[in-house]
Structure 1
């Protein structure tokens, strides 16, 4: 039984199919099929069966997963045996919320590469719900996101990092024009400039608008917080963002806070991993840095 066959098997599970696993591993699909046939011969069982056009795990294949995970984790542990962090090679897949990646993680990433220069961090700017789901599936080693998504169950080990206030902001001109977001049953002819619908702070503010029966003109949906801030500074509309993302603009007077009945609301950053994930020295380093930096607070 070859180790690469076990790794290929696990990649098929993580990626959801033979073709995606082939793409991830840079193999041809025929190579993937050959390795799985060989693994089935070695184990004297059928791991996949074809249903329609899809290859689906059999019960034997499902039962094999925890054993494969145990073998691969043991191999990973051996690869770090006797290695100092500065000499440790290895890859870590990390999903990070865009606001945290842009404004809070750079100092942590810099220190990580300083202490483990041979390691490779594969970073993905992701929606918090997607981070949670990919931690469940094992596609990510670690996630840094907002715990407000909830739904962790008992499958994730979650470390709280820090609470961050969220604020409604506008340019001085727009705030002067529309200073009241407290009085209910109003129509305000200004757009909300914000991230995509599953953004945590967007959901908080849109629920507030529904509760207050406040109607804004329309929504401008963008992925980039720097772009959102630039439009808000240039009198295009208002936005509801973590305060740390607009701290400099508030200090310079380019943006101002608009009072709401949810002023003082916080969202909580966390670092999480699957409860069954073996914590390699490189993963532990990243977790420790997140804890010591509190995602950049005070540094």
Structure 2
């Protein structure tokens, strides 16, 4: 068994196919397949179920993958300890939000690349929002992620970056759009457009309604917060979003909420992140938290 085989295992689990995994690790697909077959023979158990739809980890594969990620992190840290004075190298996998309008994420990542040109960045969102990103960090699939859940995340390193108040988003012809502020109680009986369950803003807003003894109906759910104002403008319902995430849309108006509801953007990582991940966390604090 060697670390390259463990890299193949993690890549296949993350990418879902041998083809994409081979591209990620810069190896031929036949090399990746042979490495996994060798690993399965050594362990005496299949790690993947293969069918026409792709590959899935077996129960044993899930357990082996967790230990493989631990081993790969340990190897990375050993390399860093042996090269404390050299330039940062490696890969940092980052879970992001795609709709932070006031955060210049490309600018931050560009600055990181200029400071550390030997570090590769792999960025992507989660279809289940903050909940999925937290789990991806906890399971070692990501090194760093943004999250907007209202509660602390036990067992992970958290760096608060920014606080943002919720704002009501209404169709411009809505009677409440003429008011200077809007109460959640006035919106409770309206159809809502919101993020899917598990997104941090959805969790925070549901909690605010529960605290007021209110319920609401959300017939339209989206995985992209940036699209919500456009759906509101089209007349599908009302919304409330953290101001930091609102992308203005023609036909939608934004109004302050009468009850203050706040949302916090944070960055999370596993304890004792590698040098490259720690450097990116510090830059995020410097450029966003500042």
* Aligned equivalents of 1:215, 1:62: Cα separation in 2: 41
Shift of 1:242: 0.7
* Aligned equivalents of 2:140, 2:48: Cα separation in 1: 26
Shift of 1:145: 1.4
Would the aligned equivalents of 1:196 and 1:222 in 2 still touch at CA under 8 Å?
Answer: yes
1:83 matches 2:81: no
Shift of 1:147: 4.0
1:284 matches 2:278: yes
* Aligned equivalents of 1:5, 1:157: Cα separation in 2: 29
> Against the structure 1 CA distance between its residues 224 and 3, is the aligned structure 2 distance closer, same or farther, given a 3 Å change threshold?
closer
- Structure 2 residue ranges without an equivalent (≥5): 50-56
Q: Match of 2:262?
A: 266
1:119-149 CA-to-partner distances (Å, cap 9, x unmatched) read 3321112211111111111111111112426
Q: Match of 2:53?
A: none
- Give the structure with higher Rg (CA): 1
> Against the structure 1 CA distance between its residues 10 and 198, is the aligned structure 2 distance closer, same or farther, given a 3 Å change threshold?
closer
1:220-240 CA-to-partner distances (Å, cap 9, x unmatched) read 222333322234356553211
> Against the structure 1 CA distance between its residues 212 and 144, is the aligned structure 2 distance closer, same or farther, given a 3 Å change threshold?
same
Would the aligned equivalents of 1:168 and 1:239 in 2 still touch at CA under 8 Å?
Answer: yes
* Aligned equivalents of 1:254, 1:61: Cα separation in 2: 50
* Aligned equivalents of 2:146, 2:47: Cα separation in 1: 37
1:255 matches 2:258: no
TM-score of the aligned structures, taking structure 1 as reference length: 0.70
1:96 matches 2:100: no
Would the aligned equivalents of 1:185 and 1:214 in 2 still touch at CA under 8 Å?
Answer: no
Shift of 1:118: 4.4
Q: Match of 1:108?
A: 108
* Aligned equivalents of 2:224, 2:48: Cα separation in 1: 41
Shift of 1:203: 3.0
> Against the structure 1 CA distance between its residues 117 and 33, is the aligned structure 2 distance closer, same or farther, given a 3 Å change threshold?
closer
Q: Match of 1:138?
A: 140
- Structure 1 residue ranges without an equivalent (≥5): none
* Aligned equivalents of 1:178, 1:212: Cα separation in 2: 26
Would the aligned equivalents of 1:128 and 1:149 in 2 still touch at CA under 8 Å?
Answer: no
Would the aligned equivalents of 2:99 and 2:226 in 1 still touch at CA under 8 Å?
Answer: no
Would the aligned equivalents of 1:184 and 1:213 in 2 still touch at CA under 8 Å?
Answer: no
Q: Match of 2:74?
A: 70
